[in-house]
Structure 1
Amino acid sequence: MSKVTVLSRGLLISTLSMTMMACMNMQAPQPMIKSDIPQNFAQTNTGISIAHQGYKQFFVDTQLLQVIEISLNNNRDLRTATLNIQRAQQQYQISKNAQLPSIGANGSAVRQANPSVNPNNPYSTFQVGLGVTAYELDFWGRVKSLKDVALNNYFATQSAQEAMQISLVSQVSQAWLDYAFAQENLEFAQQTLKTQLDAYNLNKKRFDVGIDSEIPLGQAQISVETARNDVAAYKTQMSQAQNLLNLLAGQNIPQQLLPNHMIKNISSETSFATGLSSDLLNHRPDLKAAEYQLKAAGANIGAAKARMYPNISLTGSTGYASTELKDLFKSGGFSWSVGPSIDLPIFDWGTRKANIKIAETEQQIALADYEKAIQSAFREVNDALATHAHIEDRLNAQRRLVSATDTTYKLSTARFITGIESYLTVLDAQRSAYAAQQSLLMLEHTKLNNQIELYKALGGGLSKPIS
């Protein structure tokens, strides 16, 4: 090999290295985010946010924890989200590989004749070698921008999967609670039905002996059928809650894992601290996903701008060629070629400029989506905190109301038996006592559901704390 050849190759390699290092970055800078959110939550509880806890530390019931674990392992939506991560990872790998030259082996054996030289004497040509096909010299950062797009899409997909896990933990916990409280309401409705049947039998005896008219008997019959309707309704709610649990878990939940007692506490926490408002951006994976999508939109602008400049590709090959197969690898058969190609559309009727405008518009859309996601997250936290701040006052008032209505019902029943009051008074008192007890159960359900909602809104629910 001559010194001229060596010098030429060295010069070519040096030139390519310098031009590669000089690649331009045309990606758009991160736009100013104006979410217009308050610096603090409406109701702030000092201390480390409960979102730092994994669900195994937050929830206290072992049955519920087992149901959550089954759901995380078998839920179909979560499984699809995991597969989406794998797909995004491979797409990123493809875009990353585009920054490297693609090298392939080639070989050929051609039998041909030259009509102008000796048409009756065909000859063979054999060739084998390595080649680089259309390797784009990324002077303007187009390939790098596309790689950054794929990388941010991968991170966004990963964050979306984490957000789905948080949502699944919350949905499973709430469905499990729905089953428990439907069961509690069913037991109360069955007790009420028994009481109403006793009252109906008493009124029937009074009617049969002529003490009362048929009106009290009809009123008692109305109460009986109302209670029967409630029993059927709560049985339906239990079945629906169980069906939802089975769907979320991706399989039938064993009966021993369903709640069979009144749920007084869902969490081991007592203070339910929110931490700093700025922590929300770190704990909520859906906000991270929106941020990555915003970054991907900025990288897309860089790729669109790079198309305004020439697309320069490098092709080359090296190998051996000979007219005799036995002489293919002998000295003198070595050959090589290298050369660039350029592609620059002269007239595209503004297509490339329109693509830049589209990419810039998509960035603004991603920015608006990110700001809206932040605002929605703060609203969810503040809504949960508003319920949490006053739920105990509501429960205490409702407990006093239950006590008062129950006392009134007992007194009116006693006065009816002695003939002082009519059955209409008993019926009104019983309806008030029944409604008050139902409302108390509903508020207790709301309290526990609110704790789950607050935990979810703050970004809690991952299997382990987010660093």
Structure 2
Amino acid sequence: MKRIVAICWFSCLVITAQAQEASTQVPTRLSYKEAVKIAIKNNFLLNQEKNNLQLSQAVRTNSVARLAPTVSGTVTALRIDGNSFNQNEGKVENGIRDNIYGSIDANLMLFNSFNRINTIRQSSDLLRAQTSVVKRTEQQVISDVSSQYLQVLLDQELMKIAERNIELLKAQLDQIKGQVELGAKAEVDQITQDALAKGAELTFLRARVTLRNDKALLAQTMLIDATGDFELEDPQWDANFTASLDQELNQLYATAMTNRADYQGALYTESAAHHSVRATRGSYYPNLVAFGSYGSAYNKLQGSAARGFQDQFFTDNTQLQYGLQLNIPIFNNLSNRLSVVRSRVAHNNAKLARSNIENTVKNDVLRAYLNFQDAIAAYQAAEVQLHAAELSYNLEKERYDLGITDLVQYTQANQNYVKAQGDFAQSKFTISFQKILLDFAIGTLKFEDIP
């Protein structure tokens, strides 16, 4: 029976381990949205900011809780060997005496120049600012993954183009070899074509190395095993994004000022610094505290007859104290002034940071807007260039096969065709992700909006 239980327990461990491994395993074919989802889950900067958000929430809760009174309980037990005053007898006694003290104390701040109210407002603004930091960090992760995903897609396409070019050049090399053997072509054409094929192989090797490096960088951003082999899927998005630029630049500015999380966070930080100045100024003025304490005590000199613990602690020695305490700051070595100056400087720095981010937002929107326009123009030009290069290549190939043109013109047409394929691939992937970069610039980028 024990053996059966042990086998079952071991099987459960194996199944659990396999399930965990399967849950963390990256698929061999990775879509763009899956890559973003993994990066958002694993990115350490984003997780750090989420941890800081929990701290900000705790600070906000603590600042509200400070409106309530503070309550504490104290219990003290001690033994005195020597002279001590016995409050039950009203005289000094010499010997070993056991003492027990206990009390419950409460304090309530009635007025402190609105320090707590401003502290609550400050912590609330800091919580909103940290929420904005988390949102912007998540958008930054999406933007980084988008850029790196685009680069890997481009690397994959360039490697495929290089591979197809090798096959084409080798096929042409075999054809030229046959023509050289028949005497229809000069041997120099065969040597030149072989050199072109070797050059294409070198281009392919370089493209493969670049692809591996960029995939490793993407894996690092997603915090997954860089040694794992995965291939990225082409999103196959519509490259016609002209409708995305139907808004004017001023409208995009206004949208960015409303939605950019870093700008909103700067506004909240400035507001929090303002409340901090008002809170620290409260230290210049008096504060009023209500206090209360209820306690009792028990003591017994060894060898003497004394009333019992029940009578002393709960009847004879009970004591209730309560009252008001007015604290008036007179001079504390300019510590309050230093706190006010420090908070005022932090407020001025927050204003400067907000102004700087405001300018940064406008510049980001302008660059993204212009880059989007350039990407559209580049895509349209690359599409026409590819079509023209393909026609020119087919024409030169046919002319070369007929012996009308030489190998130099044919080689030039082939190089132009390969370059046009690369330019078109780059412009296609660039324009496909340019809408995401524009959304990032105006602050409306969301994981849920990714198609």
- Greater helix content: 2
Determine the C-alpha separation between the residues in 1 that align with 2:95 and 2:144.
82
Determine the C-alpha separation between the residues in 2 that align with 1:254 and 1:415.
47
Letter in 1 for 2:126: N
Q: How much does 1:130 deviate?
A: 0.6
Change in Cα spacing, 1:266 to 1:332, as seen in structure 2 (3 Å) is farther
Determine the C-alpha separation between the residues in 2 that align with 1:198 and 1:257.
31
Give the TM-score normalised by structure 1: 0.74
Kept in 1, the 8 Å contact 2:162–2:203? The answer is yes
1:376 aligns with 2:360: yes
Counterpart position of 1:271? 243
The match for 1:129 among 103, 117, 122 is 103
Determine the C-alpha separation between the residues in 1 that align with 2:239 and 2:394.
36
Counterpart position of 1:297? 273
Kept in 2, the 8 Å contact 1:398–1:440? The answer is yes
Q: How much does 1:288 deviate?
A: 1.7
Q: How much does 1:125 deviate?
A: 4.3
Letter in 2 for 1:307: S
Secondary structure of 1:336's aligned partner: strand
Q: How much does 1:161 deviate?
A: 0.9
Change in Cα spacing, 1:174 to 1:316, as seen in structure 2 (3 Å) is same
Secondary structure of 1:328's aligned partner: helix
Letter in 2 for 1:264: Q
Determine the C-alpha separation between the residues in 2 that align with 1:270 and 1:125.
87
Determine the C-alpha separation between the residues in 2 that align with 1:177 and 1:414.
36
Counterpart position of 1:120? 94
Gapped regions of structure 1 (runs ≥ 5): 1-60
Secondary structure of 2:284's aligned partner: coil
Kept in 1, the 8 Å contact 2:289–2:326? The answer is yes
Determine the C-alpha separation between the residues in 1 that align with 2:190 and 2:339.
79
Deviations 1:309-330 (A, max 9, x none): 3566555421233544221354
Give the 5 Å matches for 1:378-417.
378-417=362-401
- How many percent of aligned residue pairs carry the same amino acid? 16
Determine the C-alpha separation between the residues in 1 that align with 2:92 and 2:377.
107
Determine the C-alpha separation between the residues in 1 that align with 2:239 and 2:328.
64
Determine the C-alpha separation between the residues in 2 that align with 1:267 and 1:441.
12
Kept in 1, the 8 Å contact 2:30–2:232? The answer is no
The match for 2:35 among 38, 43, 67 is 67
Change in Cα spacing, 1:336 to 1:464, as seen in structure 2 (3 Å) is farther
Change in Cα spacing, 1:219 to 1:263, as seen in structure 2 (3 Å) is farther
Q: How much does 1:343 deviate?
A: 6.4
Deviations 1:163-196 (A, max 9, x none): 1222223333443333333222221111111122
Kept in 1, the 8 Å contact 2:36–2:142? The answer is yes
Determine the C-alpha separation between the residues in 2 that align with 1:255 and 1:347.
64
Counterpart position of 1:440? 424
1:197 aligns with 2:170: yes
Letter in 2 for 1:73: K
Q: Which of 262-271 and 441-450 deviates more? A: 262-271
1:140 aligns with 2:113: yes
Letter in 1 for 2:412: D
Deviations 1:93-142 (A, max 9, x none): 23333333221111234444437944436655443221136x65542233
Counterpart position of 1:21? none
Give the 5 Å matches for 1:211-250.
216-250=189-223
Counterpart position of 1:429? 413
Kept in 1, the 8 Å contact 2:241–2:435? The answer is no
Determine the C-alpha separation between the residues in 2 that align with 1:276 and 1:242.
33
Determine the C-alpha separation between the residues in 2 that align with 1:75 and 1:131.
47
Counterpart position of 1:342? 327
Letter in 2 for 1:147: I
Counterpart position of 2:135? 162
Determine the C-alpha separation between the residues in 2 that align with 1:377 and 1:257.
36
* Matched pairs, number: 402
1:177 aligns with 2:159: no
Give the TM-score normalised by structure 2: 0.76
Counterpart position of 2:304? none
Determine the C-alpha separation between the residues in 2 that align with 1:354 and 1:360.
10
Letter in 1 for 2:172: A
Gapped regions of structure 2 (runs ≥ 5): 1-28, 300-306
Deviations 1:377-398 (A, max 9, x none): 2322232222333533332322
The match for 2:261 among 285, 293, 301 is 285
Deviations 1:208-228 (A, max 9, x none): 677666654454344323322
Counterpart position of 1:306? 282
